[in-house]
Amino acid sequence: MTSTLAERRSTFRASDAERAAATTSLLARAAATDDDAERHACHDEVVRVNMRVAEAVARRYARRGVPVEDLTQIAYLALVRAVRRYDAAHERDLLAYAVPTIEGDIR
């Protein structure tokens, strides 16, 4: 069973769209709640949903003499920090804020 390039691209877009939709709804839920435990649970889920993005950013810097595992750990921590600092009122995608934060920590 082979798939065409167009089918694979649409699959990637769908998963990106699903990730973005899940992230947006979780961040909105976190902003709307007064319960700290629920807010932290939402933030944890946002981090889990976006971990592959952090891994991808870490892999960009893999050939600079630092083990990929260390870069990935730094990227995860930066993602957690970005999710906690993100303000949904700015109406920008989380990754527009998180990716530069991750890159800055890795550099």
Could you report the per-residue pLDDT of 19-57, keeping only the tens digit for each? 888 898 999 999 999 999 999 999 999 999 999 999 999
Which amino acid, 98? Answer: A
Distance between CA atoms of 94 and 19, rounded to whole angstroms? 11
Instruction: Report pTM.
Output: 0.80
Could you report the per-residue pLDDT of 56-92, keeping only the tens digit for each? 999 999 888 889 999 999 999 999 999 999 987 877 7
Which amino acid, 70? Answer: D
Q: At what angle do helices 94-106 and 5-32 cross, to 10 degrees?
A: 100
